[in-house]
Amino acid sequence: METTLDRVPCGARAAVIRLRSLGDCVLTTPALEILKRSRPDLKVGVVVEDRFAAIFEGNPDIDDILPPRLGALAKWKPALCLNLHGGPRSMALSIWSGARFRAGFGHHRHSLFYNVRIPPPQRILGISRKAHTVEHLAAAVFHLGAPLCEIPSTKLFANRASADLPPYAVLHPAASAHDKTWPAAGFLEVARHLREAWGVEPVFVGGAEDDLAAFSAYRTCAGAPLAALKTLIARASAFVGNDAGPAHMAAAFGVPAVVIFGNSDLELWRPWKAPAEAVAGAGPISEVSHRTVIAALERLKVTA
């Protein structure tokens, strides 16, 4: 049976729309690898906001990084446009891309504008359980016609050459919501353990809008460019943080990571195929004890 990818001309362009969150961008990289592996002749472009573009820099599966502007995408002239976001802006990009094949998930609002509607991942992958976000995104590429295969790890690229820095661990105490934010006191206990038991310096990171004053006894880094954050995480000995984008970055670099979950679904968002442990309590995130997080760190230290 002829698939969508079979119908895309040799050497054509395929645009993948991936707007919004940092973590979602990282979790898209396995799908991009599957697409490029299946059709290496295609020129693959990722449509992404400037603030997250560095996630895709240096990735050999990507030929172009495109701004999310109607004119820019239409000028690029993709034959295939795969929308992995589904919001109003990405839908407009899909419609006005000029692509012959406009693909997106069937549950998206206004999916009638797609001429290739992607069914739920369970149907594509032949599973009955919840699909991890990576599986969901990869399933879209399988539906287009890429052969079913083992879904690879996420991957990022950064300068990992030694900078003669003493060993350090990255801690990310920020999150997008209060119920996803582990208390500062817990992070401080973990920082003390890392310094005293592991002999590594804790480095607290956050966005420009994050208040890291509670961690002023340690090195802090707020609002660093994403490319610099990639390098910082890639060189770290360990990572501890809330369920947020930097945790997925650590997983993509293979940095041993403990990720603390609040109300997020572990089955959907846990680090994918990485030396990592996802930690959650039976109730609010504040009930996760620092002893639980430190124990997870120690287990990772043994296997790292």
Mean pLDDT of the chain: 96
Question: Would you state the pLDDT for residue 163?
Answer: 61
**What domains are there in the chain, each with its CATH number?**
4-144 (3.40.50.2000), 168-303 (3.40.50.2000)
Question: Would you state the pLDDT for residue 110?
Answer: 85
Residue 177: pLDDT band by 50, 70, 90 thresholds?
A: very high
pLDDT greater than 60 at residue 304: no
CA distances to 62, 144, 229, 268 from 206, in Å:
28, 38, 10, 23
pTM for this entry: 0.96
Question: Would you state the pLDDT for residue 151?
Answer: 98
Residue whose C-alpha is closest to residue 49's, from 28, 25, 77: 25
Whether 82 contacts 16, CB under 8 Å: yes
What pLDDT, in 10s, does the model give residues 99-158? 999 999 999 888 899 999 999 999 999 999 999 999 999 999 999 999 999 999 999 999
Length of the chain: 304
Residue 301: pLDDT band by 50, 70, 90 thresholds?
A: confident
Residue 147 is given by DSSP the state: P
Mean pLDDT of 152-171: 88
Residue whose C-alpha is closest to residue 55's, from 237, 273, 94, 47: 47
Question: Would you state the pLDDT for residue 282?
Answer: 87
Q: How much of the chain exceeds pLDDT 70, in percent?
A: 98
Q: Which helix (H) or strand (E) holds 36?
A: helix 22-38
Residue 162: pLDDT band by 50, 70, 90 thresholds?
A: low
